[in-house]
Amino acid sequence: MLVVALIALSFSISSAQNSSSSKSPCNSTPYPSLCRSSLPNNKTATVYDYCRYSVRNSLFGAQKFLSLIEKHLRDPSLSTGAARALEDCRLLAGLNIDYLTTSFKTVNKTQSVSASVADDVQTVLSALLTNTQTCKEGLQEIASSWISSKSDVSTPLVNDTRLFSVALALFDNGWVHKNNRGKTHPSRKLLGLRDGRLPLKMSDENKAIFESTGNRKLLQSTVVNDQIEVSKTVTVSQDGTGNYTTINEAVAAAPNNSVASSGYYLIHVTAGVYEEYVVVAKNKKYLMMVGDGINQTVITGNHSVDDGWSTFNSSTLAVTGQGFVGINMTIRNTAGAIKHQAVALRNSADLSTFYSCSFEGYQDTLYVHSLRQFYRECDIYGTVDFIFGNAAVVLQNCNMYPRLPLAKQFNAITAQGRTDPNQNTGISIQNCNITPADDLASSNGTTQTYLGRPWKEYSRTIYMQSFLDSFINPAGWREWSGDFALNTSYYAEFSNTDGRPFGTSSSLITEACSETPKKDLCEKIVNLDHMNPRNNLNDIAFIAFDQTDKAATSNIEFISQAKAIAGTTSNEVNKAFTVCDKEYERASDAIDNAISGLSSKTKGEEIEKFLKDASTAIETCEVSTKEQAGNALQLEHMNQDLLDLLKNALGVFHVYMKNG
């Protein structure tokens, strides 16, 4: 699942050019004269020679630019806006030096690299251009008067951009071979999350810490070969019961420059609203941040361009450290539509992953800035260009909720930022669900919503196998300004639906629900689940099981919160809560076992037993609450709803066993 997505992250578009087949390697670059000047008076030079010198010269240029930025930052007369924009440029220039240093080591020692190494280098060379463009945009946004009088900064920005473009083109022509296009690159398996569990491998001590904070059900229940190593676990809790009270403290304590083989540094952020601007710097690698759930663990801020921040540094959470994983959190920017650009998450981390997170904002909510990124089962809320940037990014099984924008504004879900034809970047949206947020759905219907628009000249975006609700403008896409980028961008739609998702026939759903006690409920659940395929009875059985599991998990959270609120109200109430807490855990375990059994084709009678065990557990909770506390706990409807789902799941399973 995730492996496939990571393989697809790079959009390889270059063909190989054997050095012997071209006498002028520079002719294939956007700036042939600049290319030739990097290695003058050498008629026998190959594409490899030119690339090495271009990368080396690019490194020298990046180092000089960083020194220049640091000199200007020492100026005591700098305005706040200029200082903030220059701080962005310092960070980005430092990253470019890192990327060029790594790239030069690769190209300088060999003319042949594996497909995965070529992909790595192409990725960071693509990011050079993104970083330089971002520096330029920040200066124009919040320091326009300053930059207009500083040609010593603006001129190197232009020159470096051209030099980086030449280096990227030469690398693509020399190292990225045509026969590698579409090949499966070697890739590490990161996470397998279909049943909602993390395959984490940790010491008994770390496991005890993780489980003690309510995450027992998040751990993988069975031993798997490809578990993810966890080196250390720490907890953030606002009440002081954890290791730290703020997220930034926990991040600062993480080791520097970890390697993947050493395992993840896991930060569990307990439920609460964290009003802080969290930064995961480039030296904080392979960090895993796990919350208690969407709308339970919330990181919130309100920086915006209108208030003097650049788009780049307006983010509530900023991630640069390679290999970052974020799970079960809400990232929010509350600046509002009136403040225009205001980022919730800015992600510049290579091989980063977000699972089951919510990103909430208005304009520019999710900044997929650069490198390779993956998002699964996430919610994204916004208005104008609310998924934007120039990463090679896959968003899979996500919900996208366009909100109500300002008057006279329109919504554009994506704004992809590819500036060079050799960059391996683009936005890929697969198996996602695009529906209006509540405020847009209840509005007068005059707001126009588009799939995207071309932010930069070579913008690339694809929607595939996704549900596009009827509120999307029939034109699909919107121009940026006049005919800008209309002939150089690439936009595609493949196998999307605007009704029943994935082409599922009504008769198949009717058949699947035919033996359920609540047929209307069964059909409604299947029809509303746009996240999972439903090509056959097995798929529909999985949906019935999965929705039941989610309901059980939600009820467990409710009982836990209600128990904490009740405190020592009475012995009877506490006894009832204790029984229900235990029985719901038992029910949830049984449902999880049923889901695992369905995926692994366990014998039907075993799966049926799991579902019946879950029903028995819920019935035990119901009896206990009535005996101990009457209807005081108000759990009757909650229990009955879950029992209905369990009975429906069993009915769907019976149909699947007979006809699947």
List pLDDT tens digits, range 443-500.
988 999 999 999 999 999 999 999 999 899 988 999 999 999 999 999 999 888 874 3
Q: Where do the domains of the chain lie, and which CATH numbers do they carry?
A: 32-175 (1.20.140.40), 227-382 (2.160.20.10), 389-501 (2.160.20.10), 505-659 (1.20.140.40)
How far, in Å, CA of 278 to CA of 329, rounded?
13
**Stretch among 337-341, 536-540, 545-549 having the lowest mean pLDDT:** 536-540
In this structure, what token pair is assigned to residue 614?
């879950």
Is 437 a residue whose pLDDT tops 90? yes
- Give the number of other Cβ atoms within 10 Å of residue 376's Cβ: 23
Residue 184: the pLDDT is 40
**Percent of the chain residues topping a pLDDT of 70:** 83
How far, in Å, CA of 454 to CA of 481, rounded?
9
Is 200 a residue whose pLDDT tops 70? no
Output Rg (C-alpha) for the chain, integer angstroms.
Answer: 27
More confident call, 587 vs 177: 587
More confident call, 66 vs 191: 66
If you ran DSSP here, which 8-state letter would residue 641 be given?
H
Q: Determine the average pLDDT of the residues in 134-152.
A: 91
Q: Determine the average pLDDT of the residues in 559-579.
A: 70
Is 628 a residue whose pLDDT tops 80? no
Residue 223: the pLDDT is 40
Identity of the amino acid at 541 = A
**Stretch among 42-56, 371-385, 559-573, 613-627 having the lowest mean pLDDT:** 559-573
Residue 509: the pLDDT is 82
Q: Give me the residues paired with residue 491 across strands.
A: 461
Q: Is 15 helix (H, G, I), strand (E, B) or coil?
A: coil
Q: Give me the residues paired with residue 198 across strands.
A: 219
Q: Determine the average pLDDT of the residues in 96-109.
A: 96
**Stretch among 128-137, 263-272, 306-315, 546-555 having the lowest mean pLDDT:** 546-555
Residue 598: the pLDDT is 83
- Which residues neighbour 108 within 8 Å (Cβ) at sequence distance 6 or greater? 52
- Which residues neighbour 625 within 8 Å (Cβ) at sequence distance 6 or greater? 576, 579, 580, 631, 633, 635, 636, 639
Read off the pLDDT of residues 337-379 as tens digits, 9 standing for 90 and up.
999 999 999 999 999 999 999 999 999 999 999 999 999 999 9
How far, in Å, CA of 3 to CA of 616, rounded?
38
- Which residues neighbour 622 within 8 Å (Cβ) at sequence distance 6 or greater? 635, 636, 639, 640
Residue 249: the pLDDT is 98
How far, in Å, CA of 373 to CA of 369, rounded?
9
Farthest-apart Cα atoms in the chain, separation: 94
Q: Which one, of 362, 361, 357, lies nearest residue 330 by Cα?
A: 357
**Percent of the chain residues topping a pLDDT of 90:** 60
Contact 266, 210 (CB under 8 A): yes
Residue 178 C-alpha from the chain's centroid: 30
Q: Helices 537-566 & 519-528, crossing angle to 10 degrees?
A: 100
Residue 179 C-alpha from the chain's centroid: 30
**Segment holding 201, helix H or strand E:** strand 200-201
Residue 273: the pLDDT is 98
Q: Determine the average pLDDT of the residues in 636-656.
A: 88
- Give the number of other Cβ atoms within 10 Å of residue 615's Cβ: 18
**Stretch among 15-19, 503-507, 628-632 having the lowest mean pLDDT:** 15-19
Burial class (CB in 10 A: 0-12, 13-18, 19+), 521: middle
**Stretch among 53-67, 288-302, 598-612 having the lowest mean pLDDT:** 598-612
DSSP H stretches of helix in 74-203 = 80-109, 115-142, 144-147, 151-174
Residue position matching structure tokens 């990225």: 176
- Give the number of other Cβ atoms within 10 Å of residue 347's Cβ: 28
- Which residues neighbour 219 within 8 Å (Cβ) at sequence distance 6 or greater? 197, 198, 200, 207, 210, 211
How far, in Å, CA of 342 to CA of 332, rounded?
10
Q: Which one, of 329, 401, 397, 394, lies nearest residue 368 by Cα?
A: 394
How far, in Å, CA of 136 to CA of 521, rounded?
54
Q: Helices 604-629 & 636-659, crossing angle to 10 degrees?
A: 170
- Antiparallel, parallel or unpaired: β 352-355 and 228-236: unpaired
How far, in Å, CA of 81 to CA of 145, rounded?
10
If you ran DSSP here, which 8-state letter would residue 363 be given?
B
Mean per-residue pLDDT over the chain, rounded = 86
| Torsion (CA) 14, 18, 21, 23 in degrees, nearest 10 | 90
Residue 410: the pLDDT is 97
More confident call, 205 vs 424: 424
How far, in Å, CA of 455 to CA of 474, rounded?
20
Catalytic site includes residue 592 = no
Distances in Å between the Cα of 424 and the Cα atoms of 96, 118, 133, 348 are: 17, 11, 16, 15
Contact 457, 489 (CB under 8 A): yes
Residue 3: the pLDDT is 32
Identity of the amino acid at 107 = V
More confident call, 642 vs 358: 358
Contact 149, 447 (CB under 8 A): no
Q: Which one, of 350, 391, 354, 390, lies nearest residue 374 by Cα?
A: 354
Q: Determine the average pLDDT of the residues in 630-655.
A: 81
**Segment holding 317, helix H or strand E:** strand 317-319
Distances in Å between the Cα of 170 and the Cα atoms of 20, 115, 125, 182, 224 are: 14, 16, 11, 20, 43
Q: How many CA atoms lie within 13 A of 336 on its CB side?
A: 3
Backbone φ, ψ for residue 367 (5° rounding): -100, 95
- Which residues neighbour 216 within 8 Å (Cβ) at sequence distance 6 or greater? none
| Torsion (CA) 269, 274, 277, 283 in degrees, nearest 10 | -10
Q: Which one, of 428, 425, 421, lies nearest residue 452 by Cα?
A: 428
**Stretch among 92-106, 159-173, 529-543 having the lowest mean pLDDT:** 529-543
* Top-ranked range on mean pLDDT: pick from 111-120, 121-130, 598-607: 121-130
In this structure, what token pair is assigned to residue 230?
């966890």
DSSP for 403-435, written as a single string: ---STT--EEEEEE---STT---EEEEES-EE-
Q: Determine the average pLDDT of the residues in 11-40.
A: 67
Burial class (CB in 10 A: 0-12, 13-18, 19+), 204: exposed
**Segment holding 491, helix H or strand E:** strand 490-494
**Stretch among 380-394, 505-519, 579-593 having the lowest mean pLDDT:** 505-519
Read off the pLDDT of residues 591-625 as tens digits, 9 standing for 90 and up.
988 888 887 666 788 898 999 999 999 999 888 87
Q: Which one, of 611, 610, 618, 616, lies nearest residue 559 by Cα?
A: 618
Quick one: CA dihedral 233, 238, 240, 246, positive or negative? positive
How far, in Å, CA of 416 to CA of 563, rounded?
47
Residue 211: the pLDDT is 59
Identity of the amino acid at 579 = V
Kindly name the residue from 88, 385, 420, 589 that is annotated as catalytic: 385
Residue 254: the pLDDT is 97
